[in-house]
Amino acid sequence: MIHTIESGSSRASKCISMGICFVFLLTSSQTLRAQIKLVFPLGGTAFEDWVIGNYNDVDTRPIADSDYRGGNYTYDGHDALDIGLAHFRKMDEGVTVLAAAPGTVVTAMDGAFDRWAPSNPNPPGEIGNLVVIDHGGGIRTTYAHLKKDSVSVQVGDSVIAGQQVGLVGSSGGSTGPHLHFAVYQNGNPVETYKNPDQWWYDPLPYTGDVPGVLDSGIANHWPTQTEVEAGVHHQGIYSVEDGSGQLAVMWNYLYGISAGSEISFQFLRPNGSQYANYQWTDENGLTVGFWNIGVDLPSSPDLGVWNVNFRVNGELISNKSFLVVEPIPGDFDLDGDVDGEDFLSWQRGDSPVALSRQDFDDWQETYGTATPYSAVSTQIPEVSSSTLILIGILTSLVRRQLVTREV
């Protein structure tokens, strides 16, 4: 996530103060000794609920940036960790922001709009919802872009490590739900991951070392920017009555793709044979972003559970499935309602009653996704010459689409 507010400054003033920032960074990298140890300032699970998308910029040159590993998980002048969620749906679930160490609250601001996104540009100069904690010894931590009305501490409050101070939001200069977590010592920003064991009880691996997804799923259309920001929904069931050649898109909120990674998206029929495979060497890599990979299904797709496997350098990053069913008239109530047990019974083929489209819709509304058979791929034939494969790549700032046809 790119964000533009640093402790109350606007994008413009941040650029102006860049020179000051890099002097601070020099000092911090050379002389700091941690006085405290930090717990991670978010609830939930790393690399599943959230991921560090930006570290401090440790490159002292203007108009140049580098994270502590020499990578591009940062941007020029950034003074903190940006810890991002996949989308607003995740934000709405309420991801807690926690005091990283014991201390005293010295700033607590709330009430600002909290859903800024690329499709909804932020006004200049807005600070957003913010908590700052003083830990003594000249150390302060900053928690920015918090959700509106979520700040649960007041100035003067004493907090313990791990105490909730708010929820992740997208207030202030923010382009999506994330926490901007800064550590300052004597007024200077600290890149704690330069000395992770000194600063953290449980330091996380570098995001670029652990490619993965925060969320992924299937859609029958190319997700729009609005959907991407809100959170795309997983479509678990296709009915052949919907017409021929339906689009099946695997969408992914992903992170940690290193330049030069071997990427593959493999679409498997219910019998495990390969329907389509798209693979490439990703020259640029991707820090945090969104990828769509889709195929047109055949006019008469095989019934059953299709699987899509997303691999990076041969490692399975995400597997998603969708069920293709016949349009069968009639009702499907083995026990008076359509529930997951009924569905699985039908899916196994031991239901005497057909499942109607309304049943599918009801079931999906309640359960969201089909629980699939696990497809076993034993023999993978060559990709069909007529298969049309589309790939769309989208990040919060860059959108590009590539259309290619396998021959």
Stretch that binds Zn ion, among 79-87, 112-120, 215-223, 379-387 (CB under 5 A): 79-87
* Binding of Zn ion by 324 (CB under 5 A): no
Stretch that binds Zn ion, among 82-90, 117-125, 313-321, 370-378 (CB under 5 A): 82-90
Minimal distance, residue 64 CB to Zn ion, in Å: 18
Identify the residue among 57, 65, 67, 82 touching Zn ion (CB under 5 A): 82
CA separation for the pair 103, 99 (Å, rounded): 8
Q: Residues 112, 131: contact at Cβ < 8 Å?
A: no
Minimal distance, residue 5 CB to Zn ion, in Å: 8
- Beta strand spans in 258-312 (E): 261-268, 274-282, 286-296, 304-312
Minimal distance, residue 146 CB to Zn ion, in Å: 13
Minimal distance, residue 286 CB to Zn ion, in Å: 19
CA separation for the pair 259, 286 (Å, rounded): 7
C-beta of 80 vs 183, nearer to Zn ion = 80
C-beta of 3 vs 148, nearer to Zn ion = 3
CA separation for the pair 37, 127 (Å, rounded): 28
* Closest CB to Zn ion: residue number: 180
Tokens of 22: 């890099």
E strand or H helix at 22? helix 18-31
C-beta of 82 vs 215, nearer to Zn ion = 82
**Which of left, alpha, beta for 132 (phi over 0: left; psi -120 to 50: alpha)?**
beta
Minimal distance, residue 172 CB to Zn ion, in Å: 10
C-beta of 142 vs 277, nearer to Zn ion = 142
C-beta of 86 vs 295, nearer to Zn ion = 86
Stretch that binds Zn ion, among 68-76, 80-88, 104-112, 293-301 (CB under 5 A): 80-88
Closest by CA to 3, choosing from 174, 125, 179, 170, is 174
Task: Give the torsion sign (CA, 186, 191, 196, 201).
Answer: positive
Residue 134 C-beta-side C-alpha neighbours within 13 Å? 13
* Binding of Zn ion by 3 (CB under 5 A): yes
Residue 80 CB neighbour total at 10 angstroms: 27
Residue 333 C-beta-side C-alpha neighbours within 13 Å? 6
Minimal distance, residue 9 CB to Zn ion, in Å: 12
Minimal distance, residue 167 CB to Zn ion, in Å: 17
Stretch that binds Zn ion, among 76-84, 94-102, 324-332, 361-369 (CB under 5 A): 76-84
C-beta of 77 vs 223, nearer to Zn ion = 77
Identify the residue among 21, 38, 80, 249 touching Zn ion (CB under 5 A): 80
Residue 228 CB partners (closer than 8 Å, separation 6+): 87, 251, 290, 394
Span 159-188, contacts to Zn ion by CB under 5 A: 180
Binding residues for Zn ion, total number by CB under 5 A: 4
* Binding of Zn ion by 14 (CB under 5 A): no
- Beta strand spans in 149-246 (E): 158-159, 164-167, 178-185, 188-189, 212-219, 237-239
Minimal distance, residue 364 CB to Zn ion, in Å: 37
Tokens of 356: 């109607």
Which residues sit at the interface with Zn ion, rule CB under 5 A? 3, 80, 82, 180
